Amino acid sequence: MLAKNKTFQRLVGGGFLEQMGVNMLSRMQLWQMGTHKDPALIKFFKKIRRERKSLVTAREMFMVYSMSKSQADRPGDFAEVGVYQGSTARIMCEIKGDKRLRLFDTFEGLPKDSDKDPGVHRERQYACSVESVSKYLEAFPNISYHKGLFPDSTHDVPDADYAFVHFDVDLYEGTKACLEYFYPKMIPGGIMMSHDYSLLEGVKTAFTEFLADKPETVIELPETQCMVIKL
């Protein structure tokens, strides 16, 4: 349970030690997956990790790939809130074809946390410019970028249905806003997936509170992720 220790999280969170740890773990995971998964897919994940910094492990990348692939031929758009350098968005681009992908981020790092967060992050942590991300993904069609604090950044977004959305916002308020905005817009069988559910208490609290009066239940995944399938 060391990774959930607040002092440990403050020490390594967002810095060189965290990135090094995620990279080391991912190398082992890629080797293990390489014994039974498509070699081209493993090569693809390795390429992304060389190109961009990512705090999502290789197995978590696989879950984003697998869940987005399961929704690719269904009606509804894709979206991601919390883009950082675009590694998971790149995975969704590989899957989506001509489907619309909407990317939401401050592109200036994290906002201030709330009293329901563990206090392990710094304001403006994980910043990456919209210009950097859009250049990285410029080869793919039908991507729109929405800069600002979510959900304020949705003011110019037309009404749409969604098949798959990925949250990686780290904080209680941001996770709560994502659930409130996307839940009524998900198609039946649509998937909302979040990073850091089992690692950051603010993220988990947002899911617990939001789903308290809903028919859906949270599905906890092997790494730090969770997902909700809309009924």
Q: What is the DSSP string of 126-193?
A: T---HHHHHHHTTTSSSEEEEESSTTGGGTTPPP--EEEEEE---SHHHHHHHHHHHGGGEEEEEEEE
Choose between 9 and 101: higher pLDDT: 101
Mapped onto helix, strand or coil, the DSSP state of residue 56 is coil
Q: What is the pLDDT of residue 117?
A: 85
pTM score: 0.94
Question: What separation in angstroms does the CA of 121 have from each of 6, 12, 32, 36?
Answer: 10, 10, 31, 37
Tens-digit pLDDT profile for residues 184-219: 999 999 999 999 999 999 999 999 999 999 999 999
Q: What is the pLDDT of residue 2?
A: 46
Contact between 113 and 206 under an 8 Å Cβ cutoff? The reply is no
Tens-digit pLDDT profile for residues 160-179: 999 999 999 999 999 999 99
Residue among 195, 218, 219, 189 at smallest CA distance from 71: 189
Tens-digit pLDDT profile for residues 111-130: 988 888 877 778 888 999 99
Contact between 164 and 67 under an 8 Å Cβ cutoff? The reply is yes
Structural domains of the chain sorted by starting position, each given as residue range(s) with its CATH number in brackets: 2-229 (3.40.50.150)
Choose between 125 and 94: higher pLDDT: 94
